[in-house]
Structure 1
């Protein structure tokens, strides 16, 4: 498991898939609100005038020299739920992201969000 502080230090580094193909650039980190551990990263990809931020789980990510490797194929991540570079993740979209990757979505006891941007 990657610690929250070191992963945040890798912003603007390449994100690569399990076959070392570049997906995009690490833009932001979302932590699980119950554990404060990194849960998702946003990856900036697209054309310079039309960037979008894709979500990818980072629980099993590996940090290397100049990159963060995620255990997913580039083709899967490129089709993941996304937001615009100036947008905020809507609470209603959180379950969709978890479902896309086959993960369990567990909001807080009182319905709080599971993800928070750090």
Structure 2
């Protein structure tokens, strides 16, 4: 498991897929609000004039010299739900992020969000 403090140090490093292909650059980390453990990352993708942040789960991610390797292929990650580079994930779009990766989404007991940016 990647610790929250450790993964934040990787901001700005390359994110690569299961085959070692560059997906983009690690922008930020989102923790699971129930456990406060890293759950998702946002990755900067796109052309310089049309950048966006896509979400990718950190489960089974590994770190290497100067990169973070995620457990998904490049095409899957690039087609994930996205936000603007200066945007925030609206609460109503959280389920779509989980669904894209076939991960069950359950809001908190009081209906609170599952993801929080750190």
- State TM-score, norm by structure 1: 0.98
Name the Cα RMSD after superposition: 0.5
Aligned to 1:68: 68
Aligned residues: 118
Aligned to 2:101: 101
Where does structure 1 differ by over 4 angstroms across 4 or more consecutive aligned residues? none
CA contact (8 A) 2:59 2:71 kept: no
Richer in strand (by share): 1
Q: Show structure 1 runs of 5+ residues with no match.
A: none
Aligned to 1:92: 92
1:21 is displaced (CA, Å) by 0.1
Aligned to 1:54: 54
Aligned to 1:112: 112
- State TM-score, norm by structure 2: 0.98
